[in-house]
Structure 1
Amino acid sequence: MRRTKWLALGMAMAPFAAQAEAPDDAGEVMAAASIVVTGTGLALPPGTPAYGSVKIDRDRLEDAASGRIESVLADVAGFQQFRRSDSRASNPSNQGATLRALGGNASSRTLVLLDGVPVADPFFGYIPFSALVPDRLALVRVTRGGGSGAFGAGAVAGTIELASATRDQMPHFGASAFYGSRDATELSASIAPDLGQGYVSLSGRWDRGDGFQTTPRDQRVAATVPAAYDSWSTNLRAVAPIDATSEIQFRGTLFQDNRTLRFAGADSMSQGQDASIRYISRGRWQVDALAYLQARNFSNIVISSTSFRKSLDQRNTPSTGIGGKIELRPPVGEDHVLRIGMDTRFATGDMYEDAYNAGIATNPLTSRRHAGGDQITSGIFAEDDWSPDVFGGKLVLTGGVRADRWSIRNGFYKAVSAAGLVTQDSSYANRSDWAFSGRAGALYHVSDAVALRGAAYSGFRLPTLNELYRPFVVFPITTQANAALKPEKLKGVEGGIDLTPASGVQLSATLFYNRLDDAIANVTLTSVANTRERQNVNAIVAKGVELTASAQLPANFSLLASYAYSHSKVDAPGMAFDGFAPAQVPRHSASATLAWAPKAGPELSATLRYTAKQYEDDLQSDVLPDALTLDALARLPIGHGISLVARGENLFDEDIVTRNAGGSIDLGTPRTLWIGVRFGQ
């Protein structure tokens, strides 16, 4: 009943809610006598570069050796998930995204938007990477550092903005088919016909594989199996004009992802049905409005690593996300771009799981558990970008403020024995408060070749329903939930320089200092063996430098490179891990892609990535060694829109340790080779 009520409310509010800023550089100029449909959002305000960002264009998205968006995001040094695995060989609930070496506990500290819609799972906070197909995107913009503005709540480590491909970027019909190592297949197709003065695009992808052994050879047993995966997603997008300056955009996505990890029967499933509708007006009063609805589910079976029987069946975790936003840009003069608006996000979810006694051959049921709750965050914001005439247009000042009202309600945890006796029945007090945040920045163009920038910002993130109410086990560690968790609060400053020393060459350097107060971490308990609990620690302090470079070189070569050095530590006076690096945070990370792409003929690219060692846990007792990997892609056009494509992942066949719990180790993707064909007309 509770979920039905909120679903009805979400559909009722759809015409009035609205959208976040689209990561799109195109500001189409529209003649009054003609209709131009773009399928994009409003143009970025002029002060956006003050906060620094890295842009990944469509060519790079289409040339990923793995074909997966999380691998492309690794081009941005400092991007990381909770574990180093990709979406073929990781539990979906581990796939939170973070930046700036702030660590994490599998929930995203980075706000990920697709056409302005937050895509994180409403219950867990993870990102469904397998449903975000690179071929469907026009570009990705990654902004490291806290955010404000639209949907600012949750952007404590930064924002990753994904924009769907537009009509001119998509073939009328496209398809690809790949075959890879370990009997893996990847099939995709898309069609994008014009529809009146608008267009529709329908795309689908299915990939599966027998998977690789995530378990080192000396730790395998009879029950050990490869990390098999089988996933599909389909996406429908429609754009239709209303008049010469406004349009409606609709998007619907369906996906399902099935994986098996480490042991036979250790199966997980995640699925989703997402829909959004967006109104864009580029008239004198510009409007960007959006409403969205998400229905998600997750299930997972945990297999005992000693008896290899089922110990836990997380059989059902339905969740719903509803939200929307309206942004107005009133005409306030050529020197100013003023943005005012409001947004809201609602999340509700339940966890149903059954525990079993894996030590007995009959594997009897011991208890049934049910937990869940609701969250809502509603905010108002105002932001202005000012280009004063006194500096000849060389200076841009930007600043914004937000006020958010948040609440956590209806939290509960109930456990019932196999005999039907209630063993725990906890209801948690409702909580609510206001959170105020803001940001300010300046961009000064010293010359055509040199620009200086600086920014300061604050932000906050609510604990997810998963962090509040769901305990979990990854042998041999049990991690307890904590219904009393407080929101995380970030304060940060940064300064940088952008250089264009020659045509086609761009260099950027950023120094940053971020402090995340009340950071949520998985804390090892000294009183109970092999047990951790989610707790607020005093702070995580991260400081460092980020370098990026891009260059168009002679003879049709191009180079993209990124490096991040992060000195991150936990500030937890009196705790055993005070002064330690946060779990899962490397000090160094780097990526470089060299490509050769003549106007006609074959194309080649190679990507080298390095990640320094990091630690599995808060006490720095389990090390994840550093890793150096090489990916490559070759494309040979053979005419009529057909190309042969060869891809290679981890060509060095590096052992990538993704988990180390007291010596129980999981490994990442080994050398993987693909051959396939791609068509587009």
Structure 2
Amino acid sequence: MKKVLLCGAAIAALGSSAGALAQESDKGVCYIIDSEPGEEQLLCYPGKRILVSGSRSGGLRLDDYTGASTVLDSETLEQRQVRDVAEVLRDVPGVAVSGIAGQTQIRLRGSEGNHVLVLVDGIEVSDPFGGEFDFGTLQAEPGGYVEVLRGPQSALYGSDAIGGVVAYQSGTHRGVTGRIEAGTQGTLNGAARYGAMGTGWDVSLSAVAVTTDGEPNAIGGARDIGRDSYTLSGKGSVAVGDTLTLRGVARYIRTEGDYNEQDFDPASPTFGYVIDSPDTTYENEAIYALAGVNLATFDGRWTHDLSAQIADITRDTFGLFGRTSGSEGDRLKASYVSALQFADMHHLTFAADWERERFRNTDPFGFAFGGREEIENVGLVGEYRYDGERFDLSAALRHDINDRFANETTYRIGAGYRIFEDTRLRASIGSGIKNPGFYELFGFIDGRFIGNADLRPEKSTGWEVGVDQDFANGDIRLSATWFDSELENEIFTDYPAPTFVATPANRDTESSRKGLELSASARLAETVTLDAAYTWLDAEEDGVTEVRRPSHIASAALNWTAADDSASATLVVRHNGAAEDLAFTDPSFIPVRVTLEEYTLVNLAATYRLSERFELFGRVENLLDDRYQQVFSFVSPGRSAVLGLRASF
């Protein structure tokens, strides 16, 4: 057979498939990626991971990125047996996670939950109505991985990216992989994935089901809070000739679950607390799709990419007598990206985004404004990158033209310098913007939350400095980043006299967020690795500590893998420091500040290979059965255990 060796620039020519493979490749390892009669293609990687979301040009080497970033590769997700992607984000510096039934939020560097842009296979997935993404609906698929960019990214992506970007990639798969598991609390989960690829094409199909009877989440409650979540997804690409590539992505998510309401009876001793609420349920449904075409000219040095994507999200809640609330939001977006590489190290990119978001409140009782509103935005982006041997430079400028709010210009400038072979300094500064959401502009429930159509966008400016230090020929890496940012026009909930009805407003004062992020990764032995992270955060709004943002967050993951890959075990410890929250325990509905106690979660996961195709696995989550609250009065689940079987063909 004739073997064709593809290296260096040839990797980029493989497009999105190569980017997905490169994230988990090892230095000096070659892979057979395709075969035809009489020919094999052998792909060798130089050991450089690709950060797909770090540039509008379609990706850059992780070591060339001038900001703070983290990649949780597919191997990491498999070792920790991640099912809810939100849980593994606790292992990323600068990330705080808080979740209840029906809504799981993450906050990056003390920003709000709606200040984080979330991409899934390149699709913007936030709900246009609420302005943020419910991470409780994102289930990990076999072969999937996560990228996290910390710090303002509006210069690349526009509104929503004040705190940063979380990008989930489903990866590219070959063959058939499936898993099924069952455990305590009536848990029954399953996942299956099929993938194939050939000369110039690839396709992947995936299905994930997560179901549990749950546990009570009210203090002293008896009602189990269960959940069923289903995800169907597919992606593929095909090369038409030597220069043209077509691609498509589709994803359907449906989540059904129970939830408990808060007691708002002023005469009740549990006023403001979560109580058992029989027959209260929610349903969330989301449809996402993307189609794109990429044209490579001048031997791949000048690419033109045109894409269109849609997101359609509906959310409904139900009570004893039927539907009690609901919302609809949809987003239509088109993007053109022209990326030019010249003199090997220079990259110049132009991007144009058009976006239309529509939303409406579907309150069945008519107590809320039910008209359909929409916002259109055009964003123009210019980006320059220099990727040198020792010095890296990046600069981006974006101008947004909005039909409801004032036009805005955001920027980001970063630089990295390798002062020694094992020591790299980096620094960046940038600005961000977040437009108000539907319920902030037009209200949610009349008499309970009144909208404010005069709200202004929130604006942020932030900077960071960091250092990455390698030891022992790269077996140990330590990273430290100091960040500092200020937020203007922060939207908060006011309770003006004489009615004291809640309504949003912009603050006249600035809010500050600063902190230190530390991370370490080490190969302690040939079969043992350790990953650790710590964050110290000082986030204040108008001089008062921001809620649900612990000052201290830490995690550590210790993994052992047998030399022949026949078995593995992973111990993960996650600590969440004490945090402030708001409690509505006063009949005036003006919130009272309370403190959520610190908690520590210990998870243990293990696998054993039964044969070449079958693997037995199991895990215990919250091993110490810690009882804790991520949100005031909502008790999070205790200890759980599952046992499962994985098969690959």
User: Is 1:313 aligned to 2:286, yes or no?
Assistant: no
Query: Which residue of 2 is the match for residue 586 of structure 1?
Result: 550
Query: Which residue of 2 is the match for residue 420 of structure 1?
Result: none
Query: Which residue of 2 is the match for residue 207 of structure 1?
Result: 210
Q: 2:402 aligns with which of 406, 423, 431?
A: 406
Between the aligned partners of 1:522 and 1:136, the Cα distance in structure 2 is: 41
Q: Which amino acid aligns with 1:279?
A: V
Query: Which residue of 1 is the match for residue 407 of structure 2?
Result: 434
Between the aligned partners of 1:468 and 1:181, the Cα distance in structure 2 is: 43
Residue 183 of structure 1: how far off its partner (Å): 1.0
Query: Which residue of 2 is the match for residue 666 of structure 1?
Result: 634
Map 1:441-452 → 2, pairs under 5 A: 441-452=414-425
Q: Aligned pair in 2 of structure 1 residues 324, 43: CA closer, same or farther (>3 Å)?
A: same
Between the aligned partners of 2:392 and 2:367, the Cα distance in structure 1 is: 61
Deviations 1:318-372 (A, max 9, x none): 22111021111124323411111111221101111134xxxxxxxxxx8575244
**Equivalent pair of 2:102/2:136 in contact (CA under 8 Å):** no
Q: 1:264 aligns with which of 252, 269, 278?
A: 278
Q: Which amino acid aligns with 2:67?
A: Y
Residue 36 of structure 1: how far off its partner (Å): 10
Q: TM-score, normalised by structure 1?
A: 0.80
Q: Which amino acid aligns with 1:616?
A: D
Query: Which residue of 2 is the match for residue 99 of structure 1?
Result: 108
What RMSD over aligned residues (CA atoms) do the two structures have, in Å?
A: 3.1
The more displaced of 616-625 and 233-242 is 616-625
Structure with larger RCO (C-alpha < 8 A, sep 6+): 1
Identity %: 21
Query: Which residue of 2 is the match for residue 546 of structure 1?
Result: 517
Map 1:139-538 → 2, pairs under 5 A: 139-166=145-172, 170-194=173-197, 197-217=200-220, 220=221, 225-262=223-260, 263-282=277-296, 283-301=300-318, 313-314=324-325, 316-355=326-365, 367=367, 370-387=370-387, 393-407=389-403, 431-471=404-444, 478-502=448-472, 503-525=474-496, 527-528=498-499, 531-537=501-507, 538=509
Between the aligned partners of 1:66 and 1:331, the Cα distance in structure 2 is: 37
The more displaced of 505-514 and 34-43 is 34-43
Q: Which amino acid aligns with 2:411?
A: G
Residue 605 of structure 1: how far off its partner (Å): 0.3
Between the aligned partners of 2:408 and 2:126, the Cα distance in structure 1 is: 21
Q: Aligned pair in 2 of structure 1 residues 588, 546: CA closer, same or farther (>3 Å)?
A: same
The more displaced of 279-288 and 229-238 is 279-288
Runs of 5+ in structure 2 lacking a partner? 1-15, 34-38, 261-276, 584-590
Q: Aligned pair in 2 of structure 1 residues 48, 271: CA closer, same or farther (>3 Å)?
A: farther
Q: Aligned pair in 2 of structure 1 residues 310, 480: CA closer, same or farther (>3 Å)?
A: farther
Between the aligned partners of 1:610 and 1:521, the Cα distance in structure 2 is: 28
**Equivalent pair of 2:361/2:444 in contact (CA under 8 Å):** no
Residue 646 of structure 1: how far off its partner (Å): 0.6
Query: Which residue of 2 is the match for residue 677 of structure 1?
Result: 645
Between the aligned partners of 2:332 and 2:418, the Cα distance in structure 1 is: 41
Q: Aligned pair in 2 of structure 1 residues 472, 100: CA closer, same or farther (>3 Å)?
A: farther
The more displaced of 108-117 and 454-463 is 108-117
Deviations 1:429-466 (A, max 9, x none): xx332100101111000011100111110010111223
Q: Aligned pair in 2 of structure 1 residues 144, 46: CA closer, same or farther (>3 Å)?
A: closer
**Equivalent pair of 1:65/1:632 in contact (CA under 8 Å):** no
Query: Which residue of 1 is the match for residue 66 of structure 2?
Result: 50
Map 1:89-128 → 2, pairs under 5 A: 89-92=100-103, 95-102=104-111, 104=112, 107-128=113-134
Residue 640 of structure 1: how far off its partner (Å): 3.3
Between the aligned partners of 2:645 and 2:280, the Cα distance in structure 1 is: 34
Map 1:552-631 → 2, pairs under 5 A: 552-571=523-542, 579-598=543-562, 599-617=564-582, 621-631=593-603
**Equivalent pair of 2:405/2:456 in contact (CA under 8 Å):** no
Q: Aligned pair in 2 of structure 1 residues 311, 205: CA closer, same or farther (>3 Å)?
A: closer
Query: Which residue of 1 is the match for residue 621 of structure 2?
Result: 649
Residue 527 of structure 1: how far off its partner (Å): 4.7
Aligned residues: 584
Q: Aligned pair in 2 of structure 1 residues 479, 564: CA closer, same or farther (>3 Å)?
A: farther
State the secondary structure of the residue aligned to 1:124. Answer: coil
**Equivalent pair of 1:46/1:385 in contact (CA under 8 Å):** no
State the secondary structure of the residue aligned to 1:256. Answer: strand
Q: TM-score, normalised by structure 2?
A: 0.83
Deviations 1:249-301 (A, max 9, x none): 21111121011112212111110111101223451312333210112211013
Residue 128 of structure 1: how far off its partner (Å): 4.2
Deviations 1:372-429 (A, max 9, x none): 41112211111111257xxxx311221111100123xxxxxxxxxxxxxxxxxxxxxx
Runs of 5+ in structure 1 lacking a partner? 1-18, 304-308, 356-365, 408-430, 572-578
Between the aligned partners of 1:536 and 1:79, the Cα distance in structure 2 is: 25
Deviations 1:130-175 (A, max 9, x none): 5533225543221111014432322100111222212xxx341111
**Equivalent pair of 1:251/1:276 in contact (CA under 8 Å):** yes
**Equivalent pair of 1:98/1:158 in contact (CA under 8 Å):** no
